[in-house]
Structure 1
Amino acid sequence: MEPTQPPQQPSSPQGGPQQQGWPAPGPYTSPGGPYATGPYGGPPGMPGVPGVPGVGPYGQPRRSTNGLAIGSLVSGIVCCLPPLGLVLGLIALPQIRKKDQAGKGLAVAGIILSAVSCLLLVVGLVTGAIGSAVDSFEKGVDEASRTKSPFALRTGQCFGDDGKLEDYATDVEIIDCAKPHDGEVTGSFKLTGYGKKWPGESEIEGVAEKRCDTINSAYALDTWAVPTDVLVYYYMPSGQSWRLGDRTVTCAFASEEGSFAGSVRSDASTLTADQEHFLKSVNPIDTVGYREPDDDPDEDFAANKAWAGEMLAAIDGARAGLAKHHWPGASTAPVAALGKELDAAAEQWRKLAGAADADAYWEAYDTAWDAVPADLGAKARTGLGLTDTLPVEEGPSSSA
């Protein structure tokens, strides 16, 4: 076969393009002016040029994704509202066909997932599994909301302590005070003056006992309403929590013998002005009476004589407090009678506080105690609507 010549390009009339006045090869020229050549040999804006909105690679508009199809898929995945995902998917399919949109696969997946979720929902409702799950969830949320650190407790809250108030507690359960509980918070205070060094358990205990005793006394002025086995208790910082900045002591009334029901709170927030005035007047007699020295006058005469002076001051204070207040209705007569009994008691305690020696002290001791009204005004308490019966000792008490 004979060799062939390469085909010849036909020449343009009149010697080629330039001879006809055509522009030289280079930027594309149009009536609007020159444009830089795009990746497909045309100006920007021509079909197929990337970066031009709404234009596909072959000159066709880009297909948008149907929004309802996306919503159907999301609803089907999260299983929050399965019927919604099913409805959205069924609406999306005809829209996709009509508008030539993308998203058919999304809509179909959403319909399937939603249908499965709806089926599971129906099965759960029929078998009761959903109700049980909801109940368990609510119970868990409730328990979590009631479980707190002892130092997160607030005044007036009642609580249960799984450690039975014996060891350091990391958490306690908040309980309705009307229900049986281990303790009731009376207040709290910050330890100051110790710096960063852990002062030791015994040091903090000494401070906590005094401060919490005062806080508890102010919280429960109606002492007769406090069960005999409910005593002063407190949560204090441990050595580890101290290093983390913990300085809070939380005071409470608590029972180590068993739980108790009902709040023991009786302060200005729960008492009338008359009730509060009465209790603040007479309570110091009981308070000082419990502080009688352990050593008898033969062993420590000075301490006993000083204590007798404190008792006399408490009785005189009660007399003055009752005398200067106007007592309403049914409390008028019994309060006046109590005042006269305290007048007689003051005379005997004045003799005891003025005893010259241990023998004289012993001689006046019984008479002084007998002069103090045993019930400290039970009838007056009745007239004022206070607890008028001393709490009964139900068993051996223990220290907090």
Structure 2
Amino acid sequence: MEPTPQPQPPEPGTPPVPDAPATPAGPAPAAYPAPGPYATPGPYAAPGPYTSPGMPYAGVPGPYGPYGRPATTTNGLAIGSLVSGIVCCLPPLGLVLGIFALRQIKRRGQGGKGLAIAGTVLSSISTLLVLLGLITGQIQDAVRGFNEGVREAASSRMPMELRTGECFLDDAGQGEYTLGVRVVDCAEPHDGEITGRFEVTGFDGWPGDRKLEALGEERCDAMAGTYVRDTWALTADTLSLYYYPDRQAWRQGERRIACGIGGEERTTGSLRSDATTLAPGQLAFLTHVNPIEDAAYEEPEADPEDDIEANRAWAADVRAAIDSARAGLRGRTWEPSARASMDAYLTDLDSASKQWAKLVRAEDADAFWDAYDRAFELLSGDAEADVREALGLTHTPPEGPEDRGSV
């Protein structure tokens, strides 16, 4: 047994070490197995986001966007330059805006460089085109065309809105619905002029095209006869016109029919010859004479061989109109310049009355035809043309008897 080493006394100046507590006696510790190799530690979980002091949540981006970098803005002048270049509105403006935009983008670090370049290029092209147009005169032509278009659009109206005596252009074909007419001066070429209008009554619902057409023909023919008293001013292709509302316009409350007069070709000058334009002597002469023309215009379609009674009745109407004119013309004192020609014309009317009486008394078709040509000759003699010339009316007769009468 080895001797137990004795504790050495402390060196002088060294503080005393306290005695270790006594270990109670007990059984000897059990033997543990020798430790094996240590296991490799697994990956550590990534720590959660740390918050700054006083911040309740982590990862909230600040006012400058993610990563703390300010958001890039698009230069406003670049946008203006592109818009000006696209719409070709004041091309130099887009060019100037584009140049200033490029400078601001470089200095401020803004976006929109591509917009500024595109606007500058487009504006440069537009500027060159404008300069070329000014040099060649195309800009002036375009401006004149634009002004004419504005004037046409401003004068485009529905026929029902036009006043009596206004002349117009209508691009719609005959029998087609029109979307509007353009008012023009009657001294310029025009398709027609308005003779009046009237209100359609007596229908609870849409009456249909045929009924409105019948109303237009009847009423507008009468208006044309009142509007154009000097019927010799009309040509063979002069037509009575009428415009009536379609179904949609009727549902919207339109009830008016507009009446007019025009020809197959555009005419120049107004045909109006009524109480507003005629002198008293002119109006009195036409008032007495026109019924003769109207009656002669109503000749039956059937020949005397097919319907002698209808032809006799027509001849009686013509003779009645002649006799009425004779009485009316003799009952007025005429201007000295027209008296001689008026006397000669009245002599022809006296002879015409007797000749048309033969047509009224014709026993058969042969007797009717024997008196027919002479009866019309007396109505179309030079005496009436002389009176018209003396009164200042149209004195060139129509091409034939079939072209006379109201429109």
TM-score by length of 2: 0.61
Q: Which runs of 5+ in 2 are unaligned?
A: 1-129
Q: Secondary structure at the match of 1:159?
A: strand
Q: Secondary structure at the match of 1:182?
A: strand
Which of residues 234, 248, 259 is equivalent to 2:242?
234
Aligned to 1:97: none
Query: C-alpha separation between the residues in 1 aligned to 2:142 and 2:215?
Result: 48
Which of residues 311, 330, 336 is equivalent to 1:329?
336
Aligned residues: 270
Query: C-alpha separation between the residues in 2 aligned to 1:392 and 1:180?
Result: 23
Displacement after TM superposition at 1:176 (Å): 0.7
Which of residues 254, 270, 289 is equivalent to 1:246?
254
The answer to whether the 8 Å contact 1:150/1:170 transfers is no
Aligned to 1:119: none
Displacement after TM superposition at 1:205 (Å): 1.6
The answer to whether the 8 Å contact 1:231/1:253 transfers is yes
Query: C-alpha separation between the residues in 2 aligned to 1:134 and 1:204?
Result: 43
**Deviations, residues 195-249 of structure 1 (Å, cap 9, x unaligned):** 22x2222222222112111100110111112233221111112222222222211
The answer to whether the 8 Å contact 1:158/1:183 transfers is yes
Aligned to 2:78: none
The answer to whether the 8 Å contact 2:194/2:259 transfers is yes
Moved more, 185-194 or 269-278: 185-194
Displacement after TM superposition at 1:353 (Å): 1.5
Aligned to 1:3: none
Question: Which residue identity lines up with residue 238 of structure 1 in the other structure?
Answer: D
Residue 356 to residue 194, structure 1, CA distance change in 2 (3 Å): farther
Displacement after TM superposition at 1:148 (Å): 0.5
Query: C-alpha separation between the residues in 2 aligned to 1:376 and 1:289?
Result: 18
Displacement after TM superposition at 1:165 (Å): 3.3
Q: Which runs of 5+ in 1 are unaligned?
A: 1-122
Matches within 5 A, 1:121-132: none
Which of residues 337, 358, 374 is equivalent to 1:351?
358
Residue 264 to residue 376, structure 1, CA distance change in 2 (3 Å): farther
Aligned to 1:338: 345
Give the fraction of aligned pairs with identical amino acids, expressed as a percent: 45
Aligned to 1:309: 316
Which of residues 283, 291, 296 is equivalent to 2:290?
283
Displacement after TM superposition at 1:288 (Å): 1.2
TM-score by length of 1: 0.62
Query: C-alpha separation between the residues in 2 aligned to 1:169 and 1:194?
Result: 23
1:161 has 2:174 as partner: no
Question: Which residue identity lines up with residue 153 of structure 2 in the other structure?
Answer: A
Which of residues 181, 189, 201 is equivalent to 2:209?
201
Aligned to 1:318: 325
**Deviations, residues 97-146 of structure 1 (Å, cap 9, x unaligned):** xxxxxxxxxxxxxxxxxxxxxxxxxx99xx89999998677545422321
Aligned to 2:160: 151
Question: Which residue identity lines up with residue 236 of structure 1 in the other structure?
Answer: Y
Aligned to 2:226: 218
Question: Which residue identity lines up with residue 171 of structure 1 in the other structure?
Answer: G
Aligned to 2:70: none
Residue 369 to residue 139, structure 1, CA distance change in 2 (3 Å): closer
Aligned to 2:185: 176
Query: C-alpha separation between the residues in 2 aligned to 1:345 and 1:371?
Result: 5
